């Protein structure tokens, strides 16, 4: 059992490295691990994104890694953004992790599935500096089981 877990862990690392290398336009790609016991309604995951090029357009993705025991088809997230010039905004997004028949969407290795969700398309950042994103789960559960990691990926659109 322990040998299998080590093998699955190494396989996940190799696949993650391959996925990261496939995204050559990424300016930021980061995951935060969620507590294995569950994602508490009070837990926020923060990402500090450095933006230099304010003339470029970007796509912003929220990436979710879930395990097979996640109990729902979808997931609501609250995203809070703080710009370098202290402008705050809040959004809520619904992320579908499974289809109507319960088949997990995205890609998977073993019992972990990864789902990138397009949050903002073709956006420009008006000010250079560090943008702070904070993500909170918006489900009714006080402790949401089955979520491994939450992440943000920002890619520069090359025209």
Question: pTM value?
Answer: 0.81
Q: What is the DSSP string of 11-78?
A: HHHHHHHHHHHH-TTEEEEEEEEPPTT-EETT-EEEEEEEE--SSS-EEEEEEEEEETT---SEEEEE
Say what percent of the chain tops pLDDT 90: 76
CATH assignment at residue 63? 2.60.120.380
Instruction: Judge whether 59 lies within some domain.
Output: yes
134 within domain boundaries: yes
Answer for the pair 39, 137: CB distance below 8 angstroms, yes or no. yes
pLDDT digits (tens, 9 = 90+) for 128-154: 999 999 999 999 999 999 999 999 999
pLDDT, residue 4, reads: 55
Give the residue numbers spanning the domain of 53. 25-156
When divided into structural domains, the chain yields a total of 1
What pLDDT is recorded for position 28? 97
Report the pLDDT averaged over residues 66-93: 96
């Amino acid at each position: 059992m322990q040998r299998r877990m080590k093998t699955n862990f190494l396989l996940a690392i190799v696949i993650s490295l391959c996925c990261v290398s496939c995204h050559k336009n990424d300016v930021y790609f980061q995951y935060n691990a969620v507590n294995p016991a569950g994602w508490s309604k009070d837990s926020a995951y923060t990402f500090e994104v450095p933006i230099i090029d304010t003339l470029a357009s970007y796509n912003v993705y929220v990436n979710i890694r879930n395990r097979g025991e996640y109990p729902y088809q979808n997931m609501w997230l609250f995203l809070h953004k703080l710009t370098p010039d202290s402008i705050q905004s809040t959004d809520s997004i619904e992320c579908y992790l499974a289809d109507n028949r319960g088949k997990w969407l995205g890609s998977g290795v073993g019992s972990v599935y990864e789902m990138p969700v397009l949050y903002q398309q073709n956006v420009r950042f008006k000010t250079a500096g560090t943008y702070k994103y904070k993500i909170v789960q918006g489900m009714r559960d006080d402790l949401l089981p089955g979520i491994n990691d939450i992440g943000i990926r920002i890619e520069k659109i090359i025209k």
